[in-house]
Structure 1
Amino acid sequence: MPGPGFLHGIETYEYTLGPGPIQVLGAAVIGLVGSAPLFAVPGAIPLWDPSWLVQAAPGWSASTGAAVGNLLVDANGNTQKCTTAGTTGTSAPNWARTLNATTTDGTVTWTLIAIGSAAGQQCIDSNGNIQTATAITCPTWQASHAYTVGSLITDSNGNTQRVTAVAGTGTSAAAAPAWATAIGTTTTDNPGTNQVVWTLVAIGAAAITNTTAPTWATTLNSTTSDNIGATTGTVTWTLTAKGPIPNLQAPVLIAGANPNSLAPGQAGVFGPMIQGFTIPYALNQVFAQGAGQVIAVNVFNLVSHYTNINAATYAFPASGVQVINVGHMGLSIIKITNTAATTTYVEGADFTVDRVNGIVTALGGSLIVAGQSVKINCNYADPSKLADSDLVGTVTGGTYTGMQNWKLAYGLMGFFPKLLIAPAFGAAVATGQAVGSQDATVAAALSTLASSMRGMCFVDCAAGTTPATMLSNRGAAGQAFNTSDKRTVLCGPQQLFLDTGIVPNGISVNPVTGVAIQNIANTTHASPFSTWVAGVTSGNDASVGYWWSASNVGINGVLGSDVSIYSSFIDAASEKNVLNSQGIVTAFQAFGTGYRVWGNRSAGYPSYTTPDVFVAVRRVMDGIEQSVQLAMMQYLDQPINNALIASILASVNSFLRTLIGRGALIAGTASFNPAENPASQIANGQLVFDIDCMPPPPAERLTFNVTIDTTLLGQLTGAAQTASA
């Protein structure tokens, strides 16, 4: 039975009246979609490889070098992953016991990735999921047993030995030999005419994957068995993480370069600048303009975007370091055989692969001999395989791909990207990403998202597009420039810059050490103008305010346009002025000015002549509208009365006064008109308010009326000026 109401005493009810603060939603965040070389990020997980020696995670050892991505089983039986490279301490650390917690060990940082010794080597399967080697089954040594070259066993020390040579029947002795304990060293078993030569290939148990990929399990924590046959062991893979892998098909927030930041930086997230990939280049260019934040979506996936090398013949050198330079970066699914394709060599036992740089190194004591010719089957990273549809993306069953990932940003980060770009790389290298905002399909998708997020999108022309072609494309069907969208900024022509990225097919090898040498392009070529304009716009927001136009602001890093173009701000017939008059933002350069963004108006001009075709005006209006929308959530569902109406008006008018004080508005007021709010509408829970405001338009043209006034000659008196005058 409910208790009695308050009968005898004093009670209080608290109400909040008056204005509530309204925060301006960040307008300077850039949205970027494109390609990134995740394979070159330290600790990147490789794709599954055929004939690959896979082993379980080893235990901890003192004073041992550890690379990012290395795994071990700690004293608690849990799996730790190296996330900061270095050298382990002289004694075991106190291991963290919580998932994702870190342990400092000498100069190494370990992160606990699995409770229990469940994690060994990892790979990305053909479905894009992460598989982890959770069990290794390998035969034990047998007495008086006939072995063949390539067979594996686990010796009495628990290490993996491989048959690398046999004589006669290749029969083991009646008693186990004294096993070698150093990687690459050999043990002769039953010396004589029927001997077996073993080579130590792994500390701990190991097995060899099949020559063709297994049918992968697709359910989390389910397993896949992977083997060639009984003599080479079995790898049990467990699906430990569903794809996509980190930083693929997800919105990732990247902060601008800050020397005081402890963040890993853009290269630690998306990899270094490698020619052909757009995201590292775009980040470099926009941050050079002072831009603060980028929400980047990488759509490049080694599983899908590659070129195959099919049984190409390569030769190891006759002497010296046994290294083959495949000639491409980002290798995957590597299979190496003899030229007759009768022997398949084992990765990790016969050779190692520098997947990032495309270098194959033969191991000493392996089945590969100096100077041998081999056939290599593999794939290499090729962002030219990206299509417009990869950039545009879809939303299917709650899965977001491509630029559709930007829709998730507010829920994850509290803000949307407002300056949207999808630059191409161009034809500077054969593997360059060719698709981008110069394609009408991508431009249309950018426009749609800009509208839904109240942002602006920046659309490019192709490399080598002349002013005349840009103008004709404004009216040509199927062209990205054929639009009157007020949220689209047309950018052209492309701009030249000094390319300091890595040449993907220019890797060389140190002939003494066999170590890959990454060669820098150090060349000049064209880049889409959109990245530069978006970067200047974002940097301008931070330095002076989003209500300032990006026009007439210097561009850092631009060397000039990729086509000849006549610049003048005093000649109406200049090509710059003509482009601006058709809603195209371009680059300006005159004597002593440096290169500058030039143009205030969106693609809505000249079809529309309202003030919001000025990019700065449109952005101010977007900021007001969205900021007010989001701030009004606190008033939703409150009882409608005069106090509520007054609080809303006070909040909005206070916000508008703040913008006026900053210079973002000339004037502005919010009001409640009873004529727009009939009783029937209010009874239905609906209120309508009016906001009247005017952002400052940019001073696009200054005109001086100059008059030659002969009456001024009457000021002549004929009197000579005195020295004191």
Structure 2
Amino acid sequence: MAYEHGINLLENPTSVTPPITADSSIQVVIGTAPVHLTADPTAAVNKPILAYTRSAAVDKLGYSDNFSAFTLCEAIYASFQVASVAPVVFINVLDPAVHKVSVPTHPLTLVAGKGVVNVDGVLLNSVVVKQNATPLVKNVDYIIAFNKDGKPALTLLGTVVPANASLTLSFDKLDPSLVTETDIIGGYDAITKKYKGAELIRSVYPMFNVLPGLILAPGWSHIPEVGIILDAKAKSINGTFKAMAVCDLNSDTVKSYEDVAAWKETNGYTSEYTIACWPMVKIGDRKLHFSSVYAATIASVDARNDSVPFESPSNERFPITAAVRKDGVEVYLDQLEANHLNGNGVVTALNWNGWKTWGNNTAAYPNTTDPKDRFIAIRRMFNWWGNTFILTYFQKVDDPTNYRLIESIVDSENVRANGYVARGQIAGAVMEFREELNPVTNILNGKIVFIQRFAAFPPAEQITNILEFDPTILTNALFGGGQ
């Protein structure tokens, strides 16, 4: 044994477990993308795509301003260009092997050896070019690629074919109209052993180690069958995590704000895990679903608060130029009309010194008045707090059930809560390990239960100032007070 003389240092492990934060507003968007514009159109079909930048999203999914056909593009536009928030997870269900139609004959007259096929959705690998029924050889007689407008541009090579020749093309092209709500809902394919559509939400965390915070399907969530599935997924992701479904209500069938509440109730948009939105919106000439811009706005609010979703996303700047129905008719609600929607669990837009988001209630209101299920901010805080707890202490699963384990969890959670209280982000949280909740039979079976009392701040939804006329003030102003 070495002779010791001086000072030695030893380190004990930290007694308080540092929290692993669950990002609160990562969007998972399900829909259709112009995958024909990508290098490999089959690579982004029924597979979660994580993108931190617009360029990454466009590279993997393609991009088109035709939002009605390619619904994922409005989320790309709203999140990356309008709100500048990231990351976003995209799930494209438009399959070029399934959702396509054949064009057997398409004439193309060249000008100076060049021509553009003025058709959307062309699958380049399917293009066959002929001159007088004689097939031409790609990359020998011609090259073909998409131009900046997403249309195939053909250029002749060599002099075998005349520069002003008339050609005949045949090809397959994507047909987004063949996609149905069944594709969005998805399921499990027993033959390929793969998940599809909304079922792929379960794959997001295992693939990327990021948690869905907001689930949306613009262009589809107004279909009740889709809205119900999105809500079901939001309630339980991977059997344990929770999120919010951001759903649009039908602004085609429902043309007046007075009819929104009845349609919402009849079609089952009544869950505390759903945020119901009406109507649609416009940004310049682009018409988008409310959910796309609203989810991006939620993410921007969370971003300024270090991903702590304690602040309500209501009365926030809404980067739109108009609220519209699906038919394009503009909708201008006054505060009483917007409040009517809020009172029925619907979020809307209010033009009050610029466009604002307006509404604090989940779709469960007015059927429930429990603050944790009624208010969007509190429901999201419960989701986030619980998700963070799971991520932080998952490392302790299967540890010995001893006093050190219990003490470390209780102490760490109470310290964590104190930090958020000091920053004004929660009212308080206290964790306890109670004997009555942990009978010996449970402990012997490896089960322990903690109880945590938690309070988040409700939004200041109604501020009242009582004005009273005081004649004394008037008298003092006129006569100088008791002189």
The reply to whether TM is greater than 0.5 is yes
1:607 paired with 2:351, answer no
Q: Is the 8 A contact 1:576 1:588 kept in 2?
A: yes
Secondary structure (helix, strand or coil) at the match of 1:716 reads helix
1:584 paired with 2:336, answer no
Structure 2 residue corresponding to 1:474, chosen from 245, 258, 264: 264
1:395 paired with 2:188, answer yes
Name the residue aligned to 2:47: 250
Q: Is the 8 A contact 1:334 1:378 kept in 2?
A: yes
Given the superposition, is the C-alpha separation of residues 295 and 690 from structure 1 closer, same or farther in structure 2, using an over 3 Å criterion?
same
Deviations 1:355-388 (A, max 9, x none): 552334454433x556554443212233222221
Q: Is the 8 A contact 2:221 2:227 kept in 1?
A: yes
1:323 is matched by which residue type in structure 2?
G
Structure 2 residue corresponding to 1:549, chosen from 312, 321, 335: 312
Given the superposition, is the C-alpha separation of residues 475 and 680 from structure 1 closer, same or farther in structure 2, using an over 3 Å criterion?
closer
* 1:697 Cα deviation after fit: 0.6
* 1:531 Cα deviation after fit: 0.7
Name the residue aligned to 1:698: 459
Q: Is the 8 A contact 1:565 1:575 kept in 2?
A: no
Structure 1 residue corresponding to 2:17, chosen from 16, 20, 27: 20
Structure 1 residue corresponding to 2:223, chosen from 418, 439, 450: 439
Given the superposition, is the C-alpha separation of residues 279 and 721 from structure 1 closer, same or farther in structure 2, using an over 3 Å criterion?
same
Unaligned runs of 5+ in 1: 1-13, 47-243, 258-263, 425-435, 499-523
1:626 paired with 2:420, answer no
* 1:693 Cα deviation after fit: 1.1
CA distance in 2, matches of 1:362, 1:302: 27
Q: Is the 8 A contact 2:184 2:197 kept in 1?
A: yes
Name the residue aligned to 1:460: 248
Q: Is the 8 A contact 2:112 2:164 kept in 1?
A: no
Deviations 1:498-533 (A, max 9, x none): 3xxxxxxxxxxxxxxxxxxxxxxxxx2421000111
Q: Is the 8 A contact 2:94 2:176 kept in 1?
A: yes
Deviations 1:462-496 (A, max 9, x none): 454422342331233xx4xx321111111110001
CA distance in 1, matches of 2:123, 2:395: 53
Tell me the percent identity.
Answer: 24
User: What is the TM-score with the length of structure 1 in the denominator?
Assistant: 0.58
Deviations 1:604-638 (A, max 9, x none): 11111110211110111111112112322233233
Q: Is the 8 A contact 1:316 1:370 kept in 2?
A: no
Name whichever of 301-310 and 620-629 sits farther off: 301-310
CA distance in 2, matches of 1:717, 1:274: 66
CA distance in 2, matches of 1:599, 1:364: 64
Name the residue aligned to 1:284: 77
* 1:718 Cα deviation after fit: 9.2
* 1:29 Cα deviation after fit: 0.9
CA distance in 1, matches of 2:478, 2:120: 86
Name the residue aligned to 1:682: 443
Aligned positions, number: 452
| Equivalent runs, 1:514-593 vs 2, <5 Å | 524-544=285-305, 545-562=308-325, 563-569=329-335, 574-590=336-352, 593=353
CA distance in 2, matches of 1:256, 1:354: 24
Name the residue aligned to 1:352: 143
CA distance in 2, matches of 1:290, 1:370: 46
* 1:17 Cα deviation after fit: 7.5
* 1:557 Cα deviation after fit: 4.1
* 1:421 Cα deviation after fit: 1.3
| Equivalent runs, 1:176-255 vs 2, <5 Å | 245=43, 247-255=44-52
CA distance in 2, matches of 1:315, 1:29: 45
Deviations 1:139-190 (A, max 9, x none): xxxxxxxxxxxxxxxxxxxxxxxxxxxxxxxxxxxxxxxxxxxxxxxxxxxx
* 1:337 Cα deviation after fit: 4.2
Given the superposition, is the C-alpha separation of residues 640 and 361 from structure 1 closer, same or farther in structure 2, using an over 3 Å criterion?
closer
Secondary structure (helix, strand or coil) at the match of 2:127 reads strand
Deviations 1:651-709 (A, max 9, x none): 11112212222222112101122122222222222221111111001111112334445
| Equivalent runs, 1:327-406 vs 2, <5 Å | 327-332=119-124, 333-337=126-130, 343-354=134-145, 356-366=150-160, 368-369=161-162, 372-396=165-189, 398-406=193-201
* 1:297 Cα deviation after fit: 1.6
CA distance in 1, matches of 2:227, 2:313: 21
Given the superposition, is the C-alpha separation of residues 404 and 268 from structure 1 closer, same or farther in structure 2, using an over 3 Å criterion?
same
Structure 2 residue corresponding to 1:640, chosen from 397, 401, 406: 401
Name the residue aligned to 2:7: none
Q: Please, what is the CA RMSD of the aligned residues?
A: 2.9
Q: Is the 8 A contact 1:354 1:360 kept in 2?
A: yes
1:415 paired with 2:210, answer yes
User: What is the TM-score with the length of structure 2 in the denominator?
Assistant: 0.85
Structure 1 residue corresponding to 2:421, chosen from 646, 653, 660: 660
Q: Is the 8 A contact 1:407 1:416 kept in 2?
A: no
1:628 is matched by which residue type in structure 2?
F
Q: Is the 8 A contact 1:494 1:529 kept in 2?
A: yes
Structure 2 residue corresponding to 1:493, chosen from 273, 279, 300: 279
Given the superposition, is the C-alpha separation of residues 543 and 410 from structure 1 closer, same or farther in structure 2, using an over 3 Å criterion?
same
CA distance in 2, matches of 1:604, 1:543: 27
CA distance in 1, matches of 2:247, 2:477: 65
Q: Is the 8 A contact 2:25 2:213 kept in 1?
A: yes
1:307 paired with 2:104, answer no
Deviations 1:267-304 (A, max 9, x none): 23322334232223312212322422111122223222
CA distance in 1, matches of 2:12, 2:435: 25
Given the superposition, is the C-alpha separation of residues 706 and 256 from structure 1 closer, same or farther in structure 2, using an over 3 Å criterion?
farther
2:311 is matched by which residue type in structure 1?
W
Unaligned runs of 5+ in 2: 1-10
Secondary structure (helix, strand or coil) at the match of 1:665 reads coil
CA distance in 1, matches of 2:156, 2:104: 20
* 1:534 Cα deviation after fit: 0.3
Given the superposition, is the C-alpha separation of residues 331 and 674 from structure 1 closer, same or farther in structure 2, using an over 3 Å criterion?
closer
Name the residue aligned to 2:58: 267
1:450 paired with 2:234, answer yes
Name the residue aligned to 1:101: none
The structure with the largest alpha-carbon Rg is 1
CA distance in 1, matches of 2:371, 2:116: 62
CA distance in 2, matches of 1:413, 1:370: 51
CA distance in 2, matches of 1:23, 1:716: 63
Secondary structure (helix, strand or coil) at the match of 2:431 reads strand
CA distance in 2, matches of 1:292, 1:379: 34
Given the superposition, is the C-alpha separation of residues 644 and 325 from structure 1 closer, same or farther in structure 2, using an over 3 Å criterion?
closer
Given the superposition, is the C-alpha separation of residues 633 and 362 from structure 1 closer, same or farther in structure 2, using an over 3 Å criterion?
closer
Q: Is the 8 A contact 2:113 2:164 kept in 1?
A: no
CA distance in 1, matches of 2:108, 2:469: 85
Given the superposition, is the C-alpha separation of residues 254 and 714 from structure 1 closer, same or farther in structure 2, using an over 3 Å criterion?
closer
1:250 is matched by which residue type in structure 2?
K
Q: Is the 8 A contact 1:294 1:417 kept in 2?
A: no
1:39 paired with 2:69, answer no
